[in-house]
């Protein structure tokens, strides 16, 4: 093979073929690159790369440290591997290589090198561990975040507000998120705000979030929790303190009484259709505790743990066949609803602003 390559008469053909190969490879690479850029530019709302709090920024910064350090090590070691293979590839006429068995100095050297790297990484890591473990201040807004199969309950014990799947926080004020679960493991995770913390039945964990930017940030259950695990999402709405106060004050009021005849018919159905068994709608029925509080459900942007929009068609679909939308969900109606009932209930729920 090597001998052939030296034959001059073969050169032109070889170069032609090489050029063709290069052209093809670069075309392929360009296409791949385009696909990657496309994918990278796509909106990824749940990314860990856009932190908005100090805690999330600290994680992000450490991630960048290990990423770049890791990349450097990767390039050096893979490079050394490939270079070695290329340089010492078997050639015709190779004699037996020198039978070396080891080298103490080298061994010591390449034990020390990674040791230095991990000691540095540990030195960067440990302060962040302690910083991120900071206890919430005494005057922090307390929110109990409770995991249920398959939705999130948020209650503000000091304010008396209870809601679901949409956590509101005022910007610039520390919040103490008190994390619990009622059934199995779940995990509370909003990448933009900070790393996750598991919701463990029988345990209470607390972490501090100090939001710095207004906006809505997606979160998702990150610990497998049964059938509908994939469909257990939530949003955090960070808003100006005035907006937050107004929101909280409104959440404290009883439900908005229905005005249209259709909506009134919907309200009348709450008990006979079985909704009241599980849901509370303050001002009408307060016995239900199993499902999300619906007093102001119409003011939320999503239903079914943020997997469907708060729209007429999604609501109707949900009431008609919730298992089709979210297989396994625990909203089990005593009997199927009629189309008229679905229409009335939808009208009513959409009005619960």
Q: Of the listed pieces 11-19, 55-63, 157-165, 295-303, which binds other proteins according to CB under 8 A?
A: 55-63
Residue 186 pairs with which residues in a beta bridge?
199
Q: Of the listed pieces 199-207, 248-256, 262-270, 273-281, which binds other proteins according to CB under 8 A?
A: 199-207
CB of 276 to other proteins, least distance (A): 25
CA distance 135 to 52: 19
3-state secondary structure of 101: coil
Does position 299 interact with other proteins (CB under 8 A)? The reply is: no
CB of 285 to other proteins, least distance (A): 27
Among 242, 240, 229, 233, smallest CA distance to 300 is for 233
φ, ψ (nearest 5 deg) of residue 169: -135, 140
> In this structure, which long-range contacts are made by residues 192-195, counting pairs with CB atoms below 8 Å and at least 24 apart in sequence?
192/50, 192/51, 192/52, 192/53, 192/56, 192/217, 193/52, 193/53, 193/55, 193/56, 193/217, 193/219, 193/236, 194/53, 194/55, 194/56, 194/59, 194/132, 195/55, 195/56, 195/59, 195/132
Residues in the interface with other proteins (CB under 8 A) total 93
Binding residues among 119-138 for other proteins as defined by CB under 8 A: 121-122, 124-126, 128-130, 132-133
- The only residue of 21, 22, 31, 81 in contact with other proteins, by rule CB under 8 A: 81
Binding residues among 136-195 for other proteins as defined by CB under 8 A: 179, 183-185, 187, 189, 191, 194-195
CB of 221 to other proteins, least distance (A): 7
Residues 6+ apart with CB under 8 A from 217: 52, 190, 191, 192, 193, 235, 236, 238
Does position 5 interact with other proteins (CB under 8 A)? The reply is: no
Residue closer to other proteins, measured from CB, 7 or 202: 202
Q: Of the listed pieces 3-11, 65-73, 281-289, 295-303, which binds other proteins according to CB under 8 A?
A: 65-73
Residue closer to other proteins, measured from CB, 121 or 310: 121
- The only residue of 110, 249, 254, 257 in contact with other proteins, by rule CB under 8 A: 110
Does position 85 interact with other proteins (CB under 8 A)? The reply is: yes
CB of 80 to other proteins, least distance (A): 6
Asked if residue 246 lies in contact with residue 272, where contact means CB atoms within 8 angstroms, the answer is: no
């Amino acid at each position: 093979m090597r001998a052939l390559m030296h034959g001059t008469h073969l050169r032109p053909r070889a170069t032609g073929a090489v050029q063709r190969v290069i052209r093809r490879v670069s075309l392929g690479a360009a296409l791949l690159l385009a696909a990657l850029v496309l994918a990278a530019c796509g909106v990824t709302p749940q990314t860990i790369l856009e932190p908005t709090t100090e805690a999330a920024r600290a994680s992000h910064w450490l991630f960048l440290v290990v990423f770049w350090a890791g990349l450097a090590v990767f390039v050096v070691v893979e490079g050394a591997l490939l270079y070695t293979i290329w340089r010492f590839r078997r050639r015709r006429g190779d004699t037996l290589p020198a039978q070396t068995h080891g080298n103490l100095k080298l061994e010591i050297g390449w034990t020390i090198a990674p040791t230095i790297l991990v000691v540095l990484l540990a030195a960067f890591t440990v302060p962040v561990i302690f910083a991120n473990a900071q206890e919430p201040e005494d005057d922090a807004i307390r929110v109990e975040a409770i995991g249920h199969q398959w939705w999130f309950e948020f209650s503000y014990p000091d304010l008396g507000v209870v809601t679901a799947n949409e956590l509101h926080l005022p910007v610039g004020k520390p919040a103490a998120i008190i994390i619990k679960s009622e059934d199995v493991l779940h995990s509370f995770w909003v990448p933009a705000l900070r790393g996750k913390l598991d919701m463990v039945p029988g345990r209470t964990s607390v972490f501090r979030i100090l939001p710095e930017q207004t906006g809505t940030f997606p979160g998702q259950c990150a610990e497998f929790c049964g059938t509908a695990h994939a469909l257990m999402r939530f949003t955090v709405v960070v808003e100006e303190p005035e907006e937050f106060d107004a929101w909280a004050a409104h959440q404290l009021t009883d439900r908005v009484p229905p005005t249209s005849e259709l909506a009134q018919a919907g309200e009348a159905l709450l008990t006979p259709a079985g909704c009241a068994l599980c849901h509370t709608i303050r001002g009408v029925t307060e016995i239900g505790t199993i499902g999300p509080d619906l007093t102001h459900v119409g003011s939320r942007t999503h239903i079914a743990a943020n997997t469907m929009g708060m729209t007429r068609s999604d609501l109707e679909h949900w009431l008609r066949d919730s298992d089709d939308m979210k297989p396994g969900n625990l909203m089990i109606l005593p009997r199927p609803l009629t189309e008229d009932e679905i229409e009335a209930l939808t009208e009513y729920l959409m009005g619960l602003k």
